[in-house]
Chains A and B, each alone.
Chain A
């Protein structure tokens, strides 16, 4: 089961660049929420603030609060702990090149010290089934390396890897942008199934994708969140003119 995310007055800087300004919103549990906006508007930065990944950049700074379920992820926990509960799938598939498919999926657990072989087998199978990859790789789990799969398969492998640690939230930063249309639609089907078990936040520059998979959508522009509402409303009757301009393709 997923949890909701409460963001209050989030501000983010990269050095002196004020990338995010006063973001406040509530992401509902067990739903898919899409974040759209032109490139450079800060939606990727926002999502990376949700699992403290932006801190991997030494000049990054954040104020404000982010509560995931009952946990204030900045005040009450360290980045490593936060990232075990909030998973992330990146824009370009990034399976570990030296590991087999099995080891890739199990890596989040093995690298955190878990070693029970039977349980790992179960989890690997369950995660691969959940990411619709099991049938394609079940015979080559330990023989093939993670990098030998096609782009779409690699991305589903990364999703399986993220799911294996049983996160409460799954963040997806433009997960299908580097993939062909067939893989893209497979991943969108996946999101549909996954959102019953997890809370999903998906960043996308593809508005049709947002309309297809998400119940709620947020429109970002220049580091601010302009509008956050149900997807239906955003795409049919947006309240803000800037949203309407973006939707209708006047810029971005």
Chain B
């Protein structure tokens, strides 16, 4: 190692050393140079261990709020629905009372504090499955068109349009449904359905308003369509081109290629997308409330008025006077909460399994 060597000179007054005798030639190490101002400044900076740890803790806390939120919601709903649960138990969801005067089923009786959520469960299920029936073929069809058949120039605008559909708030769908869709159903569609399909028992003409399960199902289908479509597109695009090419090389037509090369590989993801759409349909409130008729009754005809779990809460909560009434509504909310969590968790698992953990953009 080479060390700097300096002879001490008497003319440097700041060096407090004895001058060596001229014949000695002592070699002495010079003091190391003063660190520059920058180095000095940086040496004064701390090790930031405390700041880093504090930052880490804060970020963990932020992330944990997500758990806290779910826990808090569950806790609040469970404790607030205790009253109804204690009185009715699990039968709350399927029990049927009988109206002694008319001898017909009576489910929801705030006056006599008899509550059964059966009609709402029925309404939610009916409207949701009707929505799926309409939305799945359309959504998958749109996805097929966009990924496999669409001319390149149209793809961007159409995808944008689908995104817009997903962004429209429920209230605006509801507004449009009340003033445009319902009259349409009332004047043209419902009579036609009753005329052609009345024999099935699912369509009868004793509700002239145009509201009802069918109206709810139709507007719901428009709302869940973008979810099903964009997720189907996502999983279809994730299928590697080699799969498509392999099928085509065997002489398949385009549809056969889609069916065997793409849909077959993507079907788990598509099912996931459908379940995600179902999850959205189950909890949809505003649009459904405005067109389903808000009658707590169970009827076979899709054209009769009904009610859904979300819609009864929206309708009656602010006017509920008795504690029992309010807690009954909260218990319905709790059921919605649990069901949508299970459905969404299942859907997320399916979608994740296909797209291998790639972030979901379907919201």
Question: Which residues of A are at the interface with B, using a C-beta cutoff of 8 A?
Answer: 1, 4, 26, 28-30, 77-78, 80-81, 84-85, 109, 112-114, 119, 123, 164-166, 168
Contacts and interface: CB of A to CB of B under 8 A. Distances in A.
A114 B49 contact: no
B7 to A, nearest CB: 19
B17 interface: no
B48 A80 contact: yes
B67 interface: no
Name the 7 nearest CB pairs between A and B, nearest first.
A78-B47, A166-B38, A84-B42, A166-B39, A166-B36, A28-B1, A80-B48
Chain B interface, DSSP helix/strand/loop, else mixed: loop
Interface residues of B, number: 15
Interface string B34-53: 01111101100101110000
B33 A112 contact: no
B44 to A, nearest CB: 10
Contact of B37 (A1, A29, A119): A119
B32 interface: yes
Chain A interface, DSSP helix/strand/loop, else mixed: loop
A111 to B, nearest CB: 10
A78 B1 contact: no
B358 interface: no
18 contacts: A1-B32, A1-B33, A26-B1, A28-B1, A30-B2, A77-B47, A80-B47, A80-B48, A81-B47, A84-B42, A85-B39, A85-B42, A112-B42, A114-B38, A123-B38, A164-B38, A166-B38, A166-B39
Contacts of B38: 109, 114, 123, 164-166
Contacts of A30: 2
B4 to A, nearest CB: 9
A4 B1 CA distance: 9
Nearest to B38: A166
Nearest to A29: B1
Contacts of B39: 85, 166, 168
B30 to A, nearest CB: 11
Contacts of B35: 166
Contacts of A168: 39
B2 A28 contact: yes
Interface in B43-80: 45, 47-49
Which of A30, A78, A166 has most B Cβ within 10 Å?
A166
A113 B2 CA distance: 36
Contacts of A77: 47
A112 B47 contact: no
A43 to B, nearest CB: 22
A179 B48 CA distance: 36
B33 A114 contact: no
Nearest to A109: B38
A84 B38 CA distance: 10
Given A81-B45, A112-B45, A168-B39, 15 more contacts: A4-B1, A28-B1, A78-B47, A80-B47, A80-B48, A84-B42, A85-B39, A112-B42, A123-B38, A165-B38, A165-B42, A166-B36, A166-B38, A166-B39, A166-B42
B216 to A, nearest CB: 49
Nearest to A113: B45
A112 B40 CA distance: 13
Contacts of A84: 42, 45
Contacts of B45: 81, 84, 112-113
A123 B38 CA distance: 9
A142 to B, nearest CB: 21
Contacts of A81: 45, 47
A238 to B, nearest CB: 22
B131 to A, nearest CB: 45
Interface in B17-37: 32-33, 35-37
A63 B215 CA distance: 72
Contacts of A123: 38
A30 B47 CA distance: 27
Contacts of A4: 1
B71 to A, nearest CB: 29
A30 B2 CA distance: 9
A21 B250 CA distance: 56
Contacts of B49: 78
